[in-house]
Amino acid sequence: MLVRQLRSELRWMLRRPRTLIGLGGLCLVPIVVGFGVWLATRDEGGGGGAGLEGILRGNGLVLPIFALFLSAGLLLPMVASIWSADGLAGESQHGTLRGLLIAPVSRVRLLVIKFFGLAAMSLFAVTMMAVVGVVSGIAFLGNDGMLTLSGNVLTTGQAVGRIALFVLLITFQMISIGAVGLAISACTEHPLVVQASVMAGFIVFAVLGNLPSLDWLDPFLITTALPGLLDVMRDPMPTEQLWDSTFLAACYLVIGLSLATMRLVTKDS
């Protein structure tokens, strides 16, 4: 029965037009970035540049990491907030949550199913972006291995491994934001409130992380951990910031799911 419920949740999410539109929009990001870098390289006759933009030229396997990193600042959290809002607040708005709450299924299992849908769609979206990024990068920029931020060149196999690791890291960050969205979603029946709250909090965190006088807040802000994920582009790869960012995301995940569980088990409507 659990497998059927999980499959039904995924089928329900994939049938929504806004889900398909969101996935399509995310897949356009690496294509647009790759085409833009290709145009810049062609107009300037090649050449270098600073940071990832310079490394991208002639190194198509860097494109998926670059596109995911750009999207992690706004687009991916926004998509996660939409899915978390539809999970509980959307059901409540359409009047279907009441039936789910009185069904002979535990409320914890209901939350597990909603969280599974969020996690599965997050992994699917990030993986799709990475695949489209690899194809676009090779098509627009070529494939001579992966030039890292340390100046070393990785083989194609090593580059694919780094891309897969980055996909998992970004997905986990996205799921942790969605878990906070589920906690808010359990407290309201208006999906727009959830989306606005998650995105407003994300923007406020980004602003606080840029204030020197509030540096003591940095270890607690999930936005300040995102730049550390680019360590996957170094060789040898340092792991301290990767572990720190993953641990911080895990804390947000536990807090979000705990609050969602506390609210859902006492929810009457």
pLDDT digits (tens, 9 = 90+) for 122-143: 999 999 999 999 999 888 887 7
Q: What percent of the chain has pLDDT over 90?
A: 33
Alpha helices for the chain (secondary structure H): 2-14, 17-44, 51-56, 63-71, 75-85, 91-93, 97-102, 107-141, 156-185, 191-209, 222-225, 240-264
Give me the residue label for tokens 């597990």: 112
Total domains in the fold of the chain:
1
How far apart, in whole angstroms, are the C-alpha atoms of residue 248 and residue 258? 15
How confident is residue 37, by pLDDT bands cut at 50, 70 and 90? confident
CB atoms within 10 A of CB 11: 10
Domain carrying residue 123: 1-267
Sign of CA dihedral 182, 69, 235, 34: positive
Mean pLDDT computed over 185-191: 86
What is the pLDDT at residue 249? Answer: 94
- Global confidence as pTM: 0.88
pLDDT in tens, 201-258: 988 998 998 888 888 888 898 888 888 898 998 888 898 999 999 999 999 999 999 9
Asked if residue 49 lies in contact with residue 57, where contact means CB atoms within 8 angstroms, the answer is yes
Q: Which residue has the higher pLDDT, 96 or 66?
A: 66
Q: How far apart are CA 206 and CA 222, in angstroms?
A: 9
The single-letter code of the amino acid at 30 is: P
The per-residue pLDDT of the chain, averaged, comes to 84
E strands in 128-250: 146-147, 153-154
Predicted confidence band of residue 103 (pLDDT cuts 50, 70, 90): low
Q: How far is CA 30 from the centre of its chain?
A: 15
